[in-house]
Amino acid sequence: VLVLGGGFAGLEACRALRGAPCEILLVDRQNHHLFQPLLYQVATAGLSGSDIAQPLRSMLAGQSNVQVHRATAVSIDLASRTVAFRDEPDPIEYDHLVLGLGLVTNWFGHASWSRYAIGLKTLHDAYRIRDRMLDAAEAAENLVDDPDERRRLLTTVVVGSGPTGVEMAGAMAELGRREIETEYRIVRAHQLRIVLVSADDRPLSSFHPELSRRTLDDLRSLGVDVRLSSPVRDLREGEVVLDGETIAAHTIVWAAGVRAPSIVHGLGVPLDRVGRILVEPDCSLPGHPNVFAVGDLAAMRVDPGDPGGPGDPASRFVPGVAQGAMQSGAHVGRTIRDRLRGGAVSVRPFRYQDRGSMATIGRAKAVAEIGGRRFGGLVAWLLWLFIHLAFLIDLRSKASVLLKWIAAYVFYRPSNRIVAAAPTDDETADGGHLRSTPSRGRVV
């Protein structure tokens, strides 16, 4: 069984195959599993990478029928039942294939925008955002006589008002201010400017409008400048172009959308608008009963009997959330296990159990919809904290995150503010493709 991707879906598929009579090869381009729901806290210096990521090898060390391999899949040949990997001469053959490759940042056809903004999908993205903001604060502190440049350095634009954009903007507006007031001498907290830009007319548009209203009030109370119904027309170096306005910003975070990785285009199976694979009710690919797509990469109907297509407003699809990924991964793992044991070979449809959705905006500010009930404020926030802790990878991460949350939320001390970039006089330093922070007009 070849499992591509060690995210929530791929990992659960492997776990469900524990004890099954097969060899499992789990391949991921990273050496770790990442708890993406807390990635924004790494980007805003609240947590460190090791709090939310763990090596796949150690997570699966106790399961003797799994081997972990680090490689990047580049093409899949369904006819010859092989997958090819970057820099590896020989493709790998499979009997069963599970595709759990997740989604990537969607730049909506503007490939150049990735030079001016940073998406938020990987630990690398989170560290780039964090370092860029911390570097900008240092540079702003060193400026004496250029208020426009200081304003640009201290401005961050977050594009997209889904859960990721809202959580990023709220945390950025909240977490940095106390340190700036106490530790900086020139820069003042009120100079930090966070702008949330969205084409939608309300934040968290997938939630009930009442929770969107509450989110908007909470964001504004934290000082976030929210621009709704404002599609981004262009991104340039340090600039976000909207209709009739250009915002100068040193840090631009792109949380406006996701799409399937291009590897799916060679499969020759039906895809939806963003490239997700339109799977059969058991999550297999049409015409390929031994190949499955799970998690974010799969467009799975909430009601497996629903014949409607992706454009049909009556058709509902499983949302791209961790629960959908874990449940579909486990379902496919069990399906393969039963087949290998010679048991049920009939198609067993995947049924999604909706456990609700939530988003946090800041300290004691969150919204949640669970079982048709809506919550906001402290209750929703405590629920959010509890659920995220409960689902975190292991006891060590739970303890570390809990301590850091106490530091951040009780004592207002974000913990992870060390920038480990090579010094600028190091000839081996790689400046990356975003412009480096200017440093002029030093205060002596």
**Residues lying near ligand FAD in the complex (CB under 6 A):** 4-10, 27-30, 36-37, 39-40, 72-73, 100-102, 120-121, 163-164, 261, 263, 295-297, 320-323, 325
Would you say 163 or 176 has its CB closer to ligand FAD?
A: 163
Q: Is 167 a catalytic residue?
A: yes
Minimum CB separation from ligand FAD for residue 349, in Å? 19
Minimum CB separation from ligand FAD for residue 151, in Å? 27
Would you say 154 or 255 has its CB closer to ligand FAD?
A: 255
Would you say 68 or 154 has its CB closer to ligand FAD?
A: 68
| Structure letter (DSSP) for residue 435 | P
| Residue 79: exposure state from Cβ atoms within 10 A (0-12, 13-18, ≥19) | exposed
429: left (phi over 0), alpha (psi -120 to 50) or beta: beta
Minimum CB separation from ligand FAD for residue 123, in Å? 10
Would you say 189 or 385 has its CB closer to ligand FAD?
A: 385
Are 169 and 365 within 8 A, CB to CB?
no
Distance CA 237, CA 435 (A): 8
Would you say 170 or 295 has its CB closer to ligand FAD?
A: 295
Rg (CA), the chain: 23
Distance CA 424, CA 401 (A): 32
Distance CA 318, CA 323 (A): 10
Minimum CB separation from ligand FAD for residue 172, in Å? 13
Minimum CB separation from ligand FAD for residue 39, in Å? 4
Placement of tokens 């039942």 in the chain? 81
| Catalytic pick among 12, 167, 174, 280 | 167
Would you say 40 or 127 has its CB closer to ligand FAD?
A: 40
User: Of 157, 130, 142, which Cα lies nearest the Cα of 187?
Assistant: 142
Minimum CB separation from ligand FAD for residue 324, in Å? 6
Measured in degrees and rounded to the nearest 5, phi and psi for residue 8 equal -55, -40
DSSP letters for 87-122:
T-SS-EE-SSEEE----EE--TT-GGGGGTSB--SS
CA separation (Å) from 135 to 46, 48, 138, 282?
Answer: 16, 17, 5, 49
| Structure letter (DSSP) for residue 301 | B
DSSP letters for 333-382:
HHHHHHHHTT---S----------EEEEEETTEEEEEETTEEEEHHHHHH
CA separation (Å) from 307 to 128, 272, 287?
Answer: 43, 14, 17
Minimum CB separation from ligand FAD for residue 444, in Å? 41
Would you say 104 or 199 has its CB closer to ligand FAD?
A: 104
Percentage helix, strand, coil, to 5, in the chain? Answer: 35, 20, 45
| Strand pairing category for 24-28 and 225-227 | unpaired
Residues assigned a catalytic role: 167
